[in-house]
Structure 1
Amino acid sequence: MYNSLRKRIFGGDNIVNLSEVRYLPRWIILVIDIIILVISLFLSTYIIEKITKQEFIYHEDKSVVFAFIILINTVFMYIFKTYAGIIRHSTFIDLFKLLVCCFCTMIVVGTINITYFWITGGKFILTPYLILYFIISFMGLFIFRLYVKEFFHIVREYRRSALKKRILVLGIDEQSIAIARAVLDNPSLPYQVVGFLTQRTDSKRASLLGKPIYEKRKIEEATKEDLMIDGIIIIKEMMSRDEMNSWVNLFLEKDLHIFKAPSVQKVRGNDLGGSIRNLQIEDLLNRRPIKIENEDVKKRHFNKAVLVTGGAGSIGSEIVRQVAQFDPSLIVVLDQAETPLYDIELEMKDKFPHIKFKFVLADVSNRHRIEPLFQTYNFSMVYHAAAYKHVPLIEENPQEAILVNVLGSKNIATLSSKYKVNRFVMISTDKAVNPTNVMGASKRAAELFVQSLQNVEGNTTKFITTRFGNVLGSNGSVIPHFKRQIEAGGPVTITHPEIVRYFMTIPEACELVLQAGTMGQGGEIFVFDMGEPVKILNLAKRMIKLSGFEPNIDIKIIYTGLRPGEKLYEELLSDNAKTLPTHNEKIMISKDPSMEFEEVDFLCKQIITSAVKKDKLQVVKILKTIVPEFISNNSEFEILDKYPEENIDEKKYK
């Protein structure tokens, strides 16, 4: 220890970290204890002389009596090893050893004093003095250890608090107080609660858990440095969306970190530390979830065979998770992506070992590969989530969109009708409404084909379509893309400063799909009330701020221009569509124009033939015939809208 201190002092590092000092040598503790005993003797002498006004030692040399008492006490210290423990870790056993040591000293000295009286007829020390010395010496030794223990505790807490984030807890209700108490009671958490924050104005002089209560106005008027805080803990469940957005805007303006804590009911045991996380942009975009009639959904799936195409994708895999909760007899998960399919297989077998699964690696465009599944398993529900969805890639490869989005949907839908599947639910997109790109138009063509099957003679399957906007966290969606760019230090790329999109969470989207499968009577297109559209520029700025950076200072935002087929505003309903309400206020039925089966089937056969021949221009021409409202935007296929009747050199599109 001394070598370490010497190196620090003479080696340039003059900061001695007391909390890292291991322990003092035993002989130093013993010397300190003896000094405390000497002080106790003199203090006892002073008190006795003031009280009794008489001599209390009958020996001609007081120093001899003092030395004798100290010697006896030291012997018992050695016997009981009172100096051997690490003081900062003293326990009740150490305290008891001190008490026994001092008591034995008093008994031995008292016994010698009485023996001396019997032999000589006189005492060499006054008995009250001995009792007083016992009390004072024990208290002195005890206080010394208590002081050292508390001193090191304070030093450790000071060092910990210096590394902890100073936070306020938003709210003064029972939930907020419970979360604050849990943080305070857990010293291992990297947070130090320094107060509470409220919108109320009647709490100026009040305090909670010994911490002050701040009004919203103080946060608005002060700076981060004035407040001396690093962040805020909020309980998301305790606020409405508008309230949370208002508070978050204020906190971001003040450059405060925002942490979200779960409600107390959701905290498992002492795992609060793992439950407090940085607020994510998804938390600000969430809305009140759809109310699901679980009993109806359960009846539709319980002990039934279910097929989910695209079952390894973002939407498909969540459908699989939710359907598995209703104890179906079998779930067939079909996808052409090998690794994601293997991942969902491992997950499902781990989470739902009692459910029977079959994982099929196949392409929905290959009818000969798919039909044996319908022949073998008596499917009651089919969820068709398989599709190509990335707009720029599909714009470059329109024939691939036809083979998967149109031919694949045609195969699954016609097989569902042929093998008497009770319900077929197709997942569509808001990009199918007044499409400006091949991807959206291909999905609209699939919608038209699926709808047309409803009225085919002999059909008993209920064909249902669900249509919604972007889902948070799906593969290739904007939010994970922005997160990766922010983590890399930027820049964040946006195609256009005015572009807006609708958003919903993956669980919400899948709840809509399950609900639609239950409530649909066949031929409907269900659309979801997705709230207000979100401006992507504002989304990017908020994500940058939530990550602790300043937009265009720490992380640059650059504009790359609209991609082929991309439009500024997405729609959920076509211009000439009408909506009908359902018993769920968040779900509506879109009454879009439909086509007769013979007409759409003939056009689909034509476009599939062109796709097989890889005739890109002819594919898009026929697609514009099937979907007349399809007007290309920022695309090489705009020429077909300008000159629809003219012959165009097809070689450049091969």
Structure 2
Amino acid sequence: MGDVFKIRELRYMPRWSVFLIDISVIFFSVLVSYLLLNSLKVKFNFAEYQNEKIFSVVVVNVLCILLFKTYAGIIRHSTFFDFFKILWSSGSALVAMLGLNFMSELILGKPVYLYPVLFLFFFISIFLMFFFRMVTKQIFGILLPKEVAYKERIAIVGVEDTSISLAKAIIHNPDHPYRLAGFLSTRSDSQKAMLLGHKIYNKKQFFKSDTLKDQFDAVLIKDVMTKPEMEEWTSLALDKGLKVLKAPVVNIIKEDDIVGSIRPLQIEDLLDRPIIKIENDEVKSYHVHKNILVTGGAGSIGSEIVRQVSQLNSSLIVVVDQAESPLYELQLELLERFPNQMFKFVLADISNYSRMEKLFDDNQFSIVYHAAAYKHVPLIEDNPHEAIFVNIGGTQNVALLSKKYNVNRFVMVSTDKAVNPTNVMGASKRAAELFVQSLQNSSQNTTKFITTRFGNVLGSNGSVIPHFKKQIEKGGPVTITHPDIIRYFMTIPEACELVLQAGTMGQGGEIYVFDMGKPVKILDLAERMIKLSGYTPGIDIKIDFIGLRPGEKLYEELLTDHSTTIPTHHEKIMISRDPLMEFEEIEILCKQIILSAMNKDSLQIVRILKTIVPEFISNNSEFEILDKISEYEVYE
């Protein structure tokens, strides 16, 4: 029993042992060939040199084995690929022997080796070497039954070349936890066909069957599929209680890495976000050999802006953030990924004017990306003074310094919550938009002030998808504020590409809004995420409705009721023409609100904020009283 367990612990036979066995097989095959012909009373040429002839055959074959490395494969994973390597090796040795015979006949008048001996040896040696591999593979299969027991049975969607390549990668990599169990196809002419020894199931069969869980554990879809195809197969699999896995594009990844790159399908893969193509040459021309500042650079948006700018050959990128740990982690990442790019990592608060002015004075920036902001709606509703210090005061500092130091372009990252805001966070961002726009036509200004406005980004800090994932991992419940709440989503890289693109397009004073695709119902999002995790919504993982949070609304807008949309040369990017304020007017109001914030007078802060942003109507908040007072005054 002890020997059996030792064999079970053996992952593969050592190469030297396979090499020695192959040599033994060759030697044995030569002897068998001569013995068979000898028993038939066949007369050999140059019989006095029989031992030398046998030795030369062995040597030539060993050299071919070394050349083709037939011993290098893992025996228990042998496939027909290994058979072809053996065929090439033995075939090359046979050709060499035939060449030697040809020369012998020309010079000596008769061949050194009898042709029956050569061909008999050729077939015997090939058979025995491959037979040895197949027997070894079966022995390992018998002694290692647990290796297969825990593998997920996968049905691959599609029967085209990419699916076949993916299937072969799974078959050739048995160390991974997957086992090919079949193929799925929309074609109806392949129901009786077999592919790589596995059945092809038609989509209609798949849909009607109630026993799929007995045959498969998961459905594997591919990166190359369109969103509608991916959505259709995902819905079909989840309805049948199967997991959904996603595989990378086969032709750009080494076969050894393909199976390791298979991962569970994420909700981000299914959201209907058409890719927006960015004019990279134009963007690069604005950044090459320039000094760039990114505020909020350690945040989800700011850090991605830094990553993308790092590819544009800028002279210097200064990354500013007040969050110490995220800034340090980003520093380690960027220095490793972009060793040729010059960086400065600055721990600073943008509301500190003198600290920021020193940065502007030292570095002479050409472009400023202003992504620093407080964005958590309920927290800001409870601490409105902090939104004033950072979202308004900090923006004011960075924008005024950009004007003072003649920065070419100032690009502000805003949010759809600034449109018809119902919370302090959104209203503070709208006030920041108004201040930035007002600077465009202020006296002695040479800077182009540009604002970008978009909705939620997938996977950003504090966003709903990471929050749901954590709740599902804990076993639920998943909490949703309202069954009808909807949101727009886009990916972080896409949002940042659009910020860079808009920054190059703007002539100053514009608010750019992006095509956010279709809005997503958060309840549908939660149910789909629960299913993708292998659970049943409402049974395995409960969904609780907890009510709208302070300042939250059911849906977000990208345009105000009073704005007009102007198209640009990019079909997915538009300009919003919102009401403006004169610089002198908003400057006075900003001073008043910052003073109120210093006095921690929350009601006065929000009262002034409602003066700056007249469309700001509080919702589910203690500040609703200010709207009622305003209505009463109008009525009086």
Q: Please report the TM-score for the alignment, with normalisation by the length of structure 2.
A: 0.81
What residue in structure 2 maps to residue 583 of structure 1? Answer: 569
Give the Cα separation in 2 of the matches to 1:286 and 1:248.
14
1:222 is matched with which residue: 195, 203, 209?
A: 209
What amino acid is the match of 2:539? I
Equivalent residue in structure 1 for 2:378, among 369, 372, 392? 392
Query: Match of 1:173, as an amino acid?
Result: E
Residue 25 of structure 2 is matched in structure 1 by: 95
Pairwise mapping of residues 257-268 of structure 1 onto structure 2 (< 5 A)? 257-268=243-254
Q: How does 1:524-543 map to 2 (within 5 A)?
A: 524-543=510-529
Distance (whole Å) between structure 2 residues aligned to residue 105 and residue 330 of structure 1: 80
Which of 586, 595, 604 is the aligned partner of 2:590? 604
Residues 206, 212 of structure 2: 8 Å contact kept: no
Question: Shift of the alpha carbon at 1:268?
Answer: 3.4
- Any unmatched runs of 5+ in structure 1? 6-15, 23-84, 111-134, 648-654
CA distance in structure 2 between the aligned counterparts of 1:352 and 1:631, rounded to whole angstroms: 46
Cα deviation, 1:627-653, whole Å, max 9, x if unaligned, reads: 011000000000000112889xxxxxx
Determine if the alignment matches structure 1 residue 188 to structure 2 residue 169: no
Match of 2:280 among 289, 294, 303: 294
Tell me whether 607-616 or 550-559 shows the greater mean CA deviation: 550-559
Distance of aligned partners of 1:155 and 1:19 in 2 relative to their CA distance in 1, 3 Å threshold? farther
Is residue 641 of structure 1 aligned with residue 571 of structure 2?
Answer: no
Q: Deviations over 1:75-130 (max 9, x none)?
A: xxxxxxxxxx99999932343465588799999999xxxxxxxxxxxxxxxxxxxx
Say what the alpha-carbon RMSD is for the aligned residues. Answer: 3.1
CA distance in 2, matches of 1:495, 1:177: 45
Inter-CA distance 643–145: structure 2 relative to 1 (3 Å threshold): closer
- Could you tell me how far apart the structure 1 residues matched to 2:567 and 2:312 are? 27
The match for 1:628 is 614
- Structure with bigger gyration radius: 1
Q: CA, structure 1 residues 298+156, in 2 after alignment: closer, same or farther (shift >3 Å)?
A: farther
**2:398 maps to which residue?**
412
The letter for the 1-side match of 2:482 is H
Amino acid in structure 1 at the alignment position of 2:501: Q
The change in CA–CA distance for 1:636 and 1:551 in structure 2 (over 3 A counts) is same
**Structure 1 residues 538 and 146, CA, compared in 2 at 3 Å: closer, same or farther?**
closer
State the 1:288 CA deviation.
2.3
Mapping for residues 244-259 of structure 1, pairs under 5 Å: 244-259=230-245
- SS in structure 1 opposite 2:368? strand
Q: Which moved more, 1:411-420 or 1:150-159?
A: 150-159
**Is there any run of 5+ residues in structure 2 with no aligned partner, and where?**
41-120
Query: 1:160 and 1:289 mapped to 2: Cα distance?
Result: 41
Give yes or no for contact 2:176–2:260 (8 Å, CA) kept in 1: no
3-state DSSP of counterpart to 2:438: helix
- Within 2, Cα distance between the matches of 1:142 and 1:399? 80
Written as runs of structure 1 = structure 2, the 5 A alignment for 1:125-204 is 149=136, 151-155=138-142, 159-204=146-191
Map of 1:425 onto structure 2: 411
Equivalent residue number for residue 348 of structure 1: 334
Structure 1 contact 267–275 (Cα < 8 Å) conserved: no
Which residue does 2:578 correspond to in 1?
592
Distance 1:317 1:141, change over 3 A: closer
Identify if the C-alpha distance between structure 1 residues 92 and 357 changes in structure 2 by more than 3 Å, giving closer, same or farther.
Answer: same
Provide the rounded CA distance (Å) in 1 between the counterparts of 2:396 and 2:8: 72
User: Alpha-carbon deviations, 1:406-455, whole Å to 9, x = none?
Assistant: 01111111111111110000000000010000000000000011011111
8 Å CA contact 1:291–1:584 kept in 2: the answer is: no
The answer on 1:212 being equivalent to 2:184 is: no
**Shift in Å at residue 154 of structure 1?**
4.1
Q: Does 1:437 align with 2:367?
A: no
Q: Deviations over 1:342-365 (max 9, x none)?
A: 111111111111111111111111
What residue identity is the alignment partner of 1:195? G
1:223 shift after superposition: 2.3
CA 1:156–1:469 in 2, change beyond 3 Å: closer, same or farther?
A: farther
**What percentage of aligned pairs have identical amino acids?**
61
In structure 2, do the counterparts of structure 1 residues 158 and 94 end up closer, same or farther at CA, with 3 Å as the change threshold? farther
Aligned twin of 1:650: none
C-alpha distance 643-187 of structure 1, shift in aligned 2 (>3 A): same
Per the alignment, do residues 535 and 96 of structure 1 end up closer, same or farther by CA in structure 2, a change over 3 Å counting?
A: same
Secondary structure in 1 aligned to 2:320?
Answer: strand
Alignment check: 8 A CA contact 2:440 2:509 kept = yes
For 1:572, give the aligned amino acid.
L
The equivalent residue for 1:281 is 267
The CA deviation string for residues 437-483 of structure 1, in whole angstroms up to 9 with x for no partner, is 00000000000110111111211111100001111111111111111
* One-letter amino acid of the structure 1 residue matched with residue 23 of structure 2: I
CA positional deviation for 1:149? 3.0
Correspondence 1:573 to 2:556: no
Q: Distance in 2 between matches of 1:144 and 1:193?
A: 25
Paired residue for 1:496, among 466, 482, 485? 482
In the TM superposition, residue 284 of structure 1 has moved relative to its aligned partner by: 1.0
Shift of 1:202: 2.5
> Could you tell me how far apart the structure 2 residues matched to 1:293 and 1:87 are?
58
- Identify the residue that residue 58 of structure 2 maps to in structure 1: none
The counterpart of 1:464, out of the listed 450, 466, 479, is 450
Asked if 1 retains the 8 angstrom alpha-carbon contact of 2:481 and 2:547, the reply is yes
Displacement of 1:371 in angstroms is 0.6
Q: Is the 8 A contact 2:185 2:203 kept in 1?
A: yes
AA of the residue aligned to 1:643: I
The 5 Å alignment of 1:48-63 reads none
The reply on whether 1:233 has 2:220 as its aligned counterpart is yes
Give the secondary structure class of the aligned counterpart of 1:467.
strand
Q: Distance in 1 between matches of 2:542 and 2:350?
A: 42
CA distance in 2 between partners of 1:625 and 1:530 (Å): 30
**1:155 positional shift:** 2.2
Counterpart amino acid of 1:91? I
Cα distance in 1 for residues equivalent to 2:162 and 2:21: 36
CA deviations 1:265-307 (Å, max 9, x no partner) are 3313521122111101111125222111011000000000000
| Rounded Cα–Cα distance in structure 2 between residues aligned with 1:190 and 1:296 | 46
Contact 1:381–1:422, Cα closer than 8 Å, also in 2: yes
**C-alpha distance 454-223 of structure 1, shift in aligned 2 (>3 A):** same
- Mapped to 2, the partners of 1:292 and 1:144 lie a distance apart of 57
Cα offset, 1:610, TM superposition: 0.5
Q: 1:615 aligns with which of 596, 601, 610?
A: 601
- Report the Cα distance in structure 2 between the residues aligned to 1:243 and 1:143, rounded to whole angstroms: 43
Quick one: which amino acid aligns to residue 92 of structure 1? D
Contact 1:319 1:510 in 2 (8 A): yes
Q: Is the contact between residue 306 and residue 330 of structure 1 (CA under 8 Å) also seen in structure 2?
A: yes
- Cα shift readout 1:152-191 (whole Å, capped 9, x = no counterpart): 1442576433322111111122222221222222222222
Does 2:543 correspond to 1:557?
yes
TM-score, with length taken from structure 1: 0.78
